[in-house]
Each structure stands twice: as structure tokens, then as C-alpha cells.
Structure 1
Amino acid sequence: MIVWLNGTHGAGKTTVSALLQPLIPDSRVLDAEKVGETLMDVRPGLPATDNFQHWAPWRPLVVETARRILDYTGGTLVMPMTVLVEPYWREISAGLADHGIPVRHFVIHADQDTLRRRIDGAHPGPSPFRLQYLEPYAEAARTWLHAEAEVVDTTHLTPDQAARQIADAVAHG
């Protein structure tokens, strides 16, 4: 099984995934961003883009990496990764389904003011990269993302509380 943690950049997916992993027996974290980082190392480089998710190989490589790891280790993968483009999510989720891999899709959500405060207060400082995804996240949330996933509103939750809420949902359903 895969527990996919979606949400905008800076929402707390990586923090929650680290807290969630010990709460789900026989689980491990796979950050699909590492697949993108591998593609960024291809020399000479792939076509210029502002987001490695736009490279066609990224999506099937995420599916294949997850499948191979699950085949090798079994258990559950916790995957923190922002995917805000609906066709990209459809490609990934269909690829995982084709391999018989069930996915529990969660969105780590917070209201825009809270997200801005978290991004502005992040170490080592505010991230223009994260800020630029606030509106695309809001659009995805309005149009498809929140309908496709279990939304965990972290506006008033600590990361530990969010992790426990997700673990409880996975354990009971």
C-alpha cells in the first residue's frame, strides 16, 4: 500500500511523513522528489522547465520506483509529494493501480494565511518557490484535489496530531 501525502509546498508533508512512518507498522518513506532530482542530474540536461514533474519520464519512474521498492520490501510506502496537475496525478494513480498497488491519498491542507505564515517562518527563511505554488494549490483544491483525497486540515493541528489522524484513518479504513 502507498500512503500518499499531497498538498502545497511548505504544508508540512515531509515533517508529517517522518512522524507518520513509525505509526504505521512495516512502513518506510519514499520521497518522489528524489526521482526528480535524479532526472535533474541527467547530462546534458533535459528540456528546460520550472518543475521536474513536467518531464514525461518523471511520472512513470515514480510508479516504477514505488512498485520495485514495494516488491522488494513489502509493507507500506509513505510518499510525501506535491502533485497539483490533475493529469499527472491520474497518470501516477493509474500506473500504481495497474500494478495492483492500493493508494490512500491524503492532502495536508491549511488555509492560505496559515500557509503563508509557515512559509515565511521556515528555516532558513521565506521560500519564493513555495510561495509561488499557493495559488496553483488553491486552484487544484477547488477543482479536483480535495475531491480526490482525504483532506487533513492542519490549520489548527500540530504535525504530530496530523500524523496521528492519518495513521488512525489508515488503521481503520
Structure 2
Amino acid sequence: MIVWLNGTHGAGKTTTSALVQQLIPDSRVLDAEKVGETLMDIRPGLSDTDNFQHWPPWRPLVVETARHVLEYTGGTLVMPMTVLVEQYWREISAGLARHAIEVRHFVLHADQDTLRARIERDTVLGPSAFRLKYLQPYAEAARTWLHAEAEVIDTTHLTPAQAALKVAEAVAAGAQRRAAPSP
């Protein structure tokens, strides 16, 4: 299974994913951004963009990386990654479905003011114009398709630990429903 944590920058995906990994037995974090970083190393051969998700190889490489890691390790992958382009999410989710990999898709949501404040006050990455420019595309994706495609957890007033617990509880409840005998 994959537990995909989506949402824009500042929603708490990276921090929450590490905490979710501690709460779900036999799980590990696979950050799809590392796949993008690998592609960035060969950037001279790719089109000029500031977002590696626009490079066509990124999406199937994420699918294949996740598939191979799951085949090797089993268990659950917790994948924190912003995907705001519906076509890209469809490619990834369809690719995982072709390999019969169950995906629990969560969106860590916060209101725009909270997201902006988190990005501007980030003590690790510092304020980031790159991260801030995704606030509006996130709002548009949330309004048009993203929230309908996922389980939304509003992190506006939650700590990362509280958000992680909500994700882990939802995953556990889904596992219990699947394991229960049908009437």
C-alpha cells in the first residue's frame, strides 16, 4: 500500500510523513522528490522548467520506483509529494493501479493565510518564492479536483503529530473494514 500525502508547500507533508511512518507498522517513507532530483542531475537534456514534475519521465519513474521498492520491502510506503496537476495525478495513480498497488490519497490542507505564514516562517528552508508561488495553483486544484480525489485533513489548527495520527487512524480503519467478513 501507498499512503500518499499531498497538499501544497507548508501543509506539513514532510514532517507528517515521518510521524506517519512511526505509527504504521512495516512502513517507510519514499519521497518522490528524490526521483525529481535525480532527473535534475541530467537537466541539460531536459526542457527548461523550474518544476521537475513537468518532465514526462518523472511520473512513470515515480510509479516504477514505488513498485520496485514495495516488491523488495513489502509493507507500506508513505509518500509525501505535492501533485497539483490533475493529469499528473491520473498518470501516477493509474500506473500504480496497473500494478495492483493500493493508494490511500490524503491531502494535508490549510487555509491560504496559514500556508503563507508557515512558508515565510520556515526555520529550515527559510522563506521561499518558489513555494509561495504554488499557493494559488493549490487553491485552484483543491477547488476543482484535488479535494474530491482524496481524504482531506485540515492541518490549519493541528500539529504534525495530530495530523499524522489522523492519517494513521484512517489507514487502520480502512484495513479493518477490508479484513472484516462480509455479511
TM range (shorter): over 0.9
More deviation, 7-16/95-104: 7-16
Aligned-partner SS, 1:97: helix
- Indicate conservation of the 8 Å contact 2:9/2:115, yes or no: no
List structure 1 runs of 4+ shifted beyond 4 angstroms.
none
Alignment of 1:52-91 (within 5 A): 52-91=52-91
Query: Following TM superposition, by how much is the alpha carbon of 1:43 offset from its aligned partner in structure 2, in angstroms?
Result: 5.8
Q: Over the residues paired in the alignment, what is the CA RMSD in angstroms? A: 0.8
Partner in structure 2 of residue 7 of structure 1: 7
The structural deviation recorded for 1:9 is: 1.4
Say if 2:30 is the partner of 1:30: yes
User: Could you tell me how far apart the structure 2 residues matched to 1:76 and 1:49 are?
Assistant: 32
Letter in 1 for 2:112: Q
Unaligned runs of 5+ in 2: 175-183
- Match of 1:90, SS state, is helix
Map of 1:160 onto structure 2: 161
What SS class does the counterpart of residue 145 from structure 2 fall into? helix
User: Which AA in structure 2 matches 1:89?
Assistant: W
Equivalent AA in structure 1 for residue 131 of structure 2 = R
Q: Which structure has the larger Rg over C-alpha atoms?
A: 2
Aligned with 2:45: secondary structure? coil
- Report the TM-score, using the length of structure 1 for normalisation: 0.98
Give the paired residue count. Answer: 173
Asked if the contact 2:27–2:77 (Cα under 8 Å) also holds between the matched residues in 1, the reply is yes
Structure 1 position 78, deviation (Å)? 0.1
Deviates more, 1:126-135 or 1:116-125: 116-125
The 1-side partners of 2:153 and 2:143 are apart by: 15
Aligned to 1:130: 131
For residue 20 of structure 1, report the CA deviation from its aligned partner: 0.7
Distance 2:91 2:5 in 1: 16
Question: What secondary structure is seen at the aligned counterpart in 2 of 1:172?
Answer: helix
